[in-house]
Homo-oligomer: A and B are copies of this chain.
């Protein structure tokens, strides 16, 4: 069992969906990821929060044995995002992004984390993602996420990141922007040429595509009858995906990657059933296994 190092945002979200509204709830890619991955293996977080970050939110993660020694608390306010989902729930409209303490963040990997073998570079500035990799002494499995903002503003740094990672997790809109291709299959092949050994394309309610060398594996998502809030589904997917691989000390073989995708996809289905991290926070190992069984019936 390997520990996972995750570097990403830790913050507060204000979210409106057709199912309701929540103000200043726990969010951030590193939080979703850690909560999901900690179902499988110990997780180490690197990030930054401000003075307003509530101790109870640290405790939620510490209770799950998530190591927060790499979470810097600095002067200023915590990163905050405001978003809104319309009826189709497929894309968030960002109403406001307050970078706050994230603006001057420089990731420092504590000595105790430097031997981390599995590393997840959540959606942050690719320049920072590169800084993280420089501090990791013996990573064996590196995965990364990104977003449209970095694809358009920091493409050359992002391309450097892609050359250094094993797995890229990306959604369809990002994939399109990164490659310029509207066809998902073709775009995935193009991304594989940029460096990663595997690409996982997250398709929201339509599931995922896993690309390894020239082969692909495609499955739908678990059918959720009431989607409450899709925020964090992608980071939850990544947490389940890498958590599964880290727990089982898996190499990048196709069968294990397939299983990892299914774990990620199932965990994400819990996230969307409630606001913020509530859905994934409640999941037990047995609920997760039950859902995987139910899923197998749906696709068999």
Taking the closest CB of chain B, its distance from the CB of A222, in whole angstroms, is: 9
Q: Is the CB of A299 within 8 A of B226?
A: no
Partner of A298, one of B205, B216, B298: B216
A110 within 8 A of B: no
B residues near A87, Cβ cutoff 8 Å: 182
Task: From known contacts A219-B220, A220-B220, infer whether A225 and B298 are also in contact, taking CB-CB under 8 Å.
Answer: no
Quick one: copies of this chain in the complex?
Answer: 2
Per-position binary interface string of chain A over residues 204-221, scored 1 when its CB falls under 8 Å from any chain B CB and 0 otherwise: 011101000001111110
> Residue among A18, A203, A205 with the most chain B CB within 10 A?
A205
Once the chains are docked, how many angstroms separate the CA of A300 from the CA of B18?
35
Q: Scan residues 180-217 of chain A and give those whose CB is less than 8 A from a CB of chain B.
A: 182-186, 189, 203, 205-207, 209, 215-217
Q: Is the CB of A185 within 8 A of B220?
A: no
A76 within 8 A of B: no
Q: Is the CB of B220 within 8 A of A183?
A: no
The residue on B at minimum CB distance from A220 is B218
B residues near A225, Cβ cutoff 8 Å: 183, 185-186, 189
Partner of A182, one of B89, B209, B223, B300: B89
A227 within 8 A of B: yes
Q: How many residues of A contact B (CB 8 A)?
A: 30
The residue on B at minimum CB distance from A182 is B87
Q: Scan residues 269-300 of chain A and give those whose CB is less than 8 A from a CB of chain B.
A: 297-300
Task: From known contacts A206-B206, A299-B299, infer whether A186 and B226 are also in contact, taking CB-CB under 8 Å.
Answer: yes
Q: Is the CB of A182 within 8 A of B220?
A: no
B residues near A206, Cβ cutoff 8 Å: 203, 206-207, 220
What are 15 of the A-B contact pairs (CB < 8 Å)?
A88-B182, A183-B225, A185-B225, A186-B225, A203-B206, A206-B206, A207-B220, A215-B297, A216-B223, A217-B298, A218-B220, A218-B298, A219-B220, A219-B299, A299-B299
The 8 residue pairs across chains A and B that have the minimum distance between CB atoms? A206-B206, A218-B220, A87-B182, A185-B223, A185-B225, A186-B225, A218-B298, A220-B220
